Structure 1
Amino acid sequence: MPGWLQLADGPDRVQPERLTRAELANLAPRALLRHNDRRTVWHANIGPIQTPQLLSLHEDLAEIVESNRHDGDKAKPAALVDAYPGLGKSTAVRDYGKTLHRKQIALGGQTTPDGHRRVPVIYIALTGNTHIRGLNASICRFYGLPTSGDADTLAERAVDAVLSMKTVVFIIDDVHFLAGSRGSSMRMANQLKYLSNVFPVTLIYIGVGVRQRGILREGFSPQETLFAQFGRRTTPLTLRPFTIEDEPGRVEWRTLLLTIERQLVLADSYPGMLADDLSDYLYARSTGHFASLMALINRGCLRAIRSGRERLDAELMDQVKNDAAAEDARQELAAAIEAGLLSSRPSARKPPQKPK
């Protein structure tokens, strides 16, 4: 819990001052070391960026969560954010959870009427081969409760914490770890139904390829009705990658790069460094996946600081390694762009209203 509450309650990170080359040269060695360290931490934590994809997901999540004001023990519909890896779905949902946490604290205060600390949102990430007891233990661990006992004992403990601390949302990341082979699918469906029945909260699941595994279908056979129940109670949501096949997509991509540019703390950075001079290059190397893009830029900034280059360009970025999936798709995209078959540059260079 301390890590999540630090994210939700803590102050927003402050962007370091952008110094000129002359100002960097005038810093004492220790001061320069500290400044560069602050820049490195900043670049590693840029975001979340309010992209159209993120804003749309937040709107959908808010609609589900805020309409779940049912009285009594009626099961609340859940949300499943299911998307390819590297699109920023976990970051986007955590950002929504942080916003909801702050809203609930503003409405009800830091403490409940009974004097307990108010914890509106909890976040847990699953691991491989997670079972009911393990999940309940993770929930108890989040609240700082003992994790001894069987699954039922842990569930009772967790429910008491949920009620006492006025929790309204569970965010459960990597839910695909619950989806095993065909033989274990029924146990997984039981587990998800168990969660929605026992805990009086809105469940937000995050996973990869969960829908393809049959969880939202009517089951593998007419007898497997638990899948049908889960599907009826769960609204599937997703995040789409950035695409450049049409003008709106190209405008979105340029807007994203312009937004990132303003957050880079490099002495020789300039407007258009990413959005003009590296637009096609960055798209080819990231394939439009947000996580791949941000990893590439973060590592590029680190190299620019360490080398004294203080800017990003293709020569420097060619030295930066990226994830295997992005690198595997890079050659085909780069060839299409070089041949003029594809471009990330919009016809109208001036973007619409920029995200924050």
Structure 2
Amino acid sequence: MSATAVPPRSRLDNLTLAHKEGWRQLVLAPDRVMPELLPLAGLRALSLPARAAYDRARRVWHANLGPIKTPQLAALHEDLWDIVDSNLQDGDKAKGAVAVDAFPGLGKTTAVLSFAKQFHLREIAEAGPFTEDGHERWPVCRVGLTGNTGMKDFNRAMLDFFGHPGEARGTTTQIGERALDCFLSCEVRLLVVDDLHFLRWRNRSATEISNHFKYIANEFPVTLLFVGVGLAERGLFGEVDSDGDESLAQTGRRTTALTVEPFMIRREEQRRDWRNLLLAIEQRLVLANSYPGMLADDLSDYLFARSTGHIGSLMTLVNRGCQRAIRTGAERLDTKLLDQVKNDAAAEAARTHVEASLAAKRLTSRPKRSGRGTARKEGT
């Protein structure tokens, strides 16, 4: 590929995963093609239009570096495959649900969407794009919730995914029945509910929500995959509510709780995982002055302190650093440039404590034995 060519790809920046068309764009979009890495002399040789096109291609590339197959993502996917593939019970049996519950910035939504995409493609490959009755096959339905969402809003969001004209009118029950019809007709097998913590959980609502999920598990032939923050604290897995109602127990008994952990550096194995992540990111950077070990050797402690081991914070910092490096002509990442780049508030608030531990040698992110600029293959 030439330096000036922009790889063909769907306009994913305009998609919304709330509708099946947006989900299809995400699933079927070809892999991004990494722009050619040019040396400084090659950059200077480009014409102004060619340089503008090349820099735009790099901006888009650096803004979409993931997902990276970290140990956390691989472990989560294995657990999800176990659960989803075991949910092949006959229709008279309720299927087990999954709840991925983790702090923000740990990549849980990215990991879940990556899994859902793989599941969608596998189902289409095995069963074809259409059902026996001639309907489009949609193995996955993804619903993203908003602030203060109630049950009617939830049912409407499921129906809206399919573009059903009846989503704007009817009772909660009627809209839910229409959604069930869509799920049966399109043979949906996985329902991803993102940002579940936005549902109303107070008082009687928690019991109503739990009963509604029980209804979906009983009547919809799907595996429920919840994604959210603090789901246990909000009562999703509770045995009883504040009034002693034990109806929440059934949701808890049927739901498997999974999580995504941050990167840690207290043990040698953890430090190797952190190094492999940085090396994997390094190999994806398109900066003229980059070099092996730029992140994994020269910026390892710095990047851990700035991200506190949260992959979301790390990817945000690296992405913004690359944009500044291209714009300023630095064409590399170092502490001087990254000190000028702002990161998310949570990472910045926790930075000082981690920096102090690293400076006092109470912590280090570097494994004892590592070849400079090399990574294990599975870490990429």
- TM-score between the two structures when normalised by the length of structure 1: 0.97
- Give the secondary-structure state (helix, strand or coil) at the position aligned to 2:100: strand
Task: For 1:156 and 1:214, locate their aligned partners in 2 and report how far apart those are by CA, in whole Å.
Answer: 26
Q: Residue 210 of structure 1: SS of its match in structure 2? A: coil
2:292 maps to which of 271, 274, 278: 271
**Residue of structure 1 equivalent to 2:283:** 262
C-alpha deviation, 1:324, in angstroms: 0.5
Q: What SS does structure 1 have at the residue aligned with 2:125?
A: helix
CA distance in 2, matches of 1:156, 1:182: 26
Deviation at 1:332, TM superposition (A): 0.9
Match of 2:181? Answer: 160
Instruction: Give 2:233's aligned residue.
Output: 212
Deviations 1:10-65 (A, max 9, x none): 21111111111111111111111111111111111111100010000000001110
Distance in 1, matches of 2:233 and 2:104, equals: 14
The 1:16/1:90 distance shift into structure 2, 3 A limit, reads same
Match of 2:345 among 317, 324, 332: 324
Matches within 5 A, 1:189-228: 189-220=210-241, 223-228=244-249
Distance in 2 between residues matched to 1:231 and 1:136, nearest whole Å: 21
Equivalent residue pairs, number:
356
CA distance in 1, matches of 2:201, 2:90: 34
Q: CA RMSD in A?
A: 1.3
Structure 1 gaps of 5+ residues are: none
Structure 2 SS opposite 1:341: coil
Once the two structures are overlaid, the 10-residue window that deviates more, 190-199 or 323-332, is 190-199
Look up the equivalent residue of 1:315 and give its one-letter code.
K
- Cα pair 2:149 2:200 within 8 Å, conserved: no
2:41 matched to 1:22?
yes
Gaps of 5+ in 2: 1-19
Trace 1:1-356 onto structure 2 (pairs within 5 A): 1-146=20-165, 147=167, 148-220=169-241, 223-350=244-371, 351-356=375-380
Larger mean Cα displacement after TM superposition, 154-163 or 314-323? 154-163
Question: Structure 1 residues 181-190 or 168-177, which shifts more?
Answer: 181-190
Which amino acid in 2 is paired with 1:130? T
Q: Match of 2:247, SS? A: helix
Within 1, Cα distance between the matches of 2:324 and 2:51? Answer: 16
Partner SS state of residue 322, structure 1: coil
SS of the residue aligned with 1:69? coil
**Which stretch has the larger CA shift, 223-232 or 293-302?**
223-232
State the secondary structure of the residue aligned to 1:316.
Answer: helix
Which residue number in structure 1 is paired with residue 6 of structure 2? none
Q: State whether residues 193 and 226 of structure 1, in contact with CA within 8 Å, keep that contact through their aligned partners in structure 2.
A: no
Q: CA deviation at 1:183?
A: 4.6
Separation in structure 1 between the aligned mates of residue 204 and residue 158 of structure 2, nearest angstrom = 26
Hey, what's the Cα distance between the residues in 1 that align with 2:213 and 2:183? Answer: 17
> 1: distance between equivalents of 2:33 and 2:310?
26
Relative to 1, partners in 2 of residues 1:117 and 1:183: Cα closer, same or farther, differing over 3 Å? Answer: closer
SS at the partner of 1:302? helix
Whole-angstrom CA distance in 2 between matches of 1:290 and 1:168: 29
Q: Alignment identity in percent?
A: 52
Distance apart, 1:243 and its partner CA: 0.3
